[in-house]
Structure 1
Amino acid sequence: MRRPGLLLAATLITAAALTACGKPQGGQATGSEEASSEPATAPAAAPVELTDAQKATLVASLPAPYNTGDIANGKKVFAVCKSCHTVVQGGANMTGPNLWGVFGRASASEAGFTYSDGMKKLGITWDAPQIDKWIENPKAMVDGTKMSFVGVKAPKDRIDVIAYLKTETSAAPQ
C-alpha cells in the first residue's frame, strides 16, 4: 500500500536537512573570512549539472596538455581542497575563496574574501598554466600566502584537477 503523504513528508525533511549542511552556525565567519555586517543573502539556486558533452567541451577548450585531463581523477585529487574551497556559483568563501568563475578572474579579486598582501600584489589572471603553477607549490608562487597547502606534486594530477575545476567552476558552454 502506497502512502504519498508519507513520501512527500520524508522528501521535504531530507531537503531541509541537506539545505542546512555546511553552513556555519550562528552566522560566524570561518577561517580567514571576516564577519560582515551586511544582511544575509538568499541561498544560491541549485547548481545546474552539466552534461558529459558540455564537460567534454569545457575540457577541450583548455590549452594542451590540460585538455587531456581526467575529470574523475581530478575530482578525487580535489577532494582535499574542498575543506577550504567551494566551487559552486554563489557559494561561500571559506578558509579559501570560492572558486566559481576562477578561469579568467584576476588574482585576489573574489568579493568578500580577505587576501594576503602577497596575493594582492600577484597581479595575474587565472588560467590553466597559472593555476597549475599555483597548485604545484603555492608558497613558491606567492611569498607570505595564507594558503598552507603544500601542493600537488604529480603533473598528471594537476592537469586532472584543472580539467575538473574547469567543469565545476564554469557555466555551460553555448
Structure 2
Amino acid sequence: MKQYKFDIKNKYEKIKTHINDAKFDFTEFREFNMHVFGYKRPWEKLFSHNSIKFVKRLLIPQTNLMLSYFHDEYGEKSNYLIYIDFGKYKQTKNYILFHDLELDILIKKDFSFEILDMDELFDSYENSKISNEEIKKILLTLEKTINNFSNKGVMETLYEIAGEEPIDWLTNNYL
C-alpha cells in the first residue's frame, strides 16, 4: 500500500511504497477552499511511466478520494483523464496524510471508466491491512460514485465531489 505525505507549509509530497521512498517539490499549490487542495509537480521516474511530464492532484480530506491527472502525451497514461485513489486521510495544520487503500477508478478521456485493483483491495482486507469499517466505507463510496456516474454523468459527479473550479484546474490541459 502507498502512503502519501503532503507538506502544505513546505510544499512537497513524499511517497512511500514497497518500491519507492521519494520526495517531490510542488511547482504549484492551490487551496481552493478549506476542504480541497491542489498541487502540481514535475514527474520523476519512480518505477515506470517515463513519458509523463507532470502530475496534478486534488486532495479532498473530507472524503476518502484523491484525484490525479497525469500529463502524458504518448505513453500508457495518455488516455487517462482522472485517476481516483480510494484511501483514508489524516490532516493537521501543516500536513495531509493519505493512505492508499488499493481501490482505484480510472476515468478515460472519452469519459468511460474502469474500476481497478478490486483484487488488491480484497487481498489487503483478507490480510487485515484494511479494517471492516474501512472496506465498508470504500465500497459504499464506490457504489455511490458509480451510480452517480451513471445517473448524472462523470463530470457532474466530479464537480459534486470536488467543485467545478478544482476539477477544471485539474483537467485544464485536456478539456
TM-score, normalised on structure 1? 0.32
RCO higher in structure (CA 8 A, sep ≥6): 1
Using the size of structure 2 for normalisation, the TM-score is 0.32
Larger Rg: 1
